[in-house]
Amino acid sequence: MADRAQRREDVDRAYRLQAQAATLGALRYTCIGLGLITVAHYAWPAFRKQTLPFKAFLTSTFTIYGLVVCADTALLSHEADRRMAEMALRKEARLDLSRRGLVPTETEIAKWKAEREAALQAERPS
């Protein structure tokens, strides 16, 4: 049951990270879009003649692009970090189990992780 709770916590952490990155990315790219559209409005007479809904469409395009790209980048980065940490933990488990003379199967690695977690919990002051 603790594994399920840990996964839920990881999912919630990833969601918060992604939502924060999406918000900041949308804000950043909205500002960039507004700046570029303002410059284009004052620099090119042909752009100045464009309708307000078209300019709003361009601004929303910048906003959506920033939201999606920044959220995706943050989530991919988080997943890569988690994967590297998991690989390092599994490598440590395989080495430790091999030193004990055990074959590092998935079951043994799961037991090793549970033992390690219990040892870490015991070391922590309450």
Tell me the pLDDT tens digit for each residue of 67-111. 999 999 999 999 999 999 999 999 999 999 999 998 889 999 999
What's the average model confidence in pLDDT over 35-55?
A: 96
Tell me if the pTM is above 0.85.
no
**Which of the four pLDDT bands, split at 50, 70 and 90, describes residue 126?**
low
Cβ(109)–Cβ(93) under 8 Å? yes
Find, among 77, 10, 100, 56, the residue nearest to 108 by Cα: 100
For residues 121 and 81, the model is more confident at 81
Based on the structure, what is the number of domains in the chain? Answer: 1
